[in-house]
Amino acid sequence: MIVAGADGCRTGWVVCRRDVDGTLDIRVLKTLAEACEGLSLLAVDMPIGFIDVPRPPRACEVEARRLLPGKTSSVFPTPCRPALGCTTHADANALSKSLGIGLTRQTFHLFPKMREVDALMRGHPALQAIVREAHPELAFARMNGGKPVLSKKRKPEGFAERLALLARHGFKWTPQTLSGAAHDDVLDAIAVCRTALLIAEGKATRLGPEHDRDRHGLPMNIWY
């Protein structure tokens, strides 16, 4: 089976594709739709499924933070669906606040990627069987015996620690420049590619109730 992991980057998406023989093909694509072609499974580091009000948060996020002590800030709060349509942070923050709680500028900067994933999943329902939400820090924690990797991935020691974990679990990558993507983006794409493989093999763990869906029927689960 061919699986892949995708992480957003400044020029599109870093996609790590794992062939049946274990070979990794890592490249930058402009759209996530391109990454779905010919795959058994694609794990993406981006929310799938949005609640209508910002509180309470999605159950899968609550569970994810519980599994990442010392690293909870890596689980960004997913915006409510009404705010996702706003084009400025001020408007999105004000709308979200009126519904319960505001949202950060960091989260707002992810809106274009979130909208892209949402449109893809809603426009092509068959992809719900192929595309799953994942989280790289959960993936690394699983590789690390269930303990969160507390070092920062953008620092040399944190990068090296994650690179070693990936190699130990059969996802070896020799760092090289990839136009349009940072090295830590690539690490995350490889990490969630391993999650995709675990899902395909029936070995992954799902966070959030199995039938937890948003109003458009999109699943609200995080896999690792």
Domain assignments of the chain as residue spans, ordered by start: 1-76+117-224
In Å, the largest CA–CA distance within the chain is 52
Tens digit of pLDDT for each residue in 207-220? 999 999 999 999 99
Predicted local distance difference test score (pLDDT) of residue 122: 97
Mean pLDDT, to the nearest integer, of 41-62?
Answer: 96
Query: CA 202 to CA 133: how far, in whole Å?
Result: 15
Q: Record the pTM.
A: 0.95
> Is domain 1-76+117-224 given the CATH code 3.30.420 in the classification?
yes
- Report phi then psi at 134, rounded to 5: -135, 175
- The pLDDT assigned to 166 comes to 98
User: Residue 196 corresponds to which amino acid?
Assistant: A
Do residues 159 and 183 lie in contact, with contact meaning Cβ atoms separated by under 8 Å?
A: yes
Q: Return the pLDDT at 210.
A: 95
In the predicted model, what is the mean pLDDT of residues 187-210? 98
Q: Cα separation of 204 and 188, whole Å? A: 17
Q: How confident is the model at residue 180 (pLDDT cuts 50, 70, 90)?
A: very high
d(CA 4, CA 59): 25
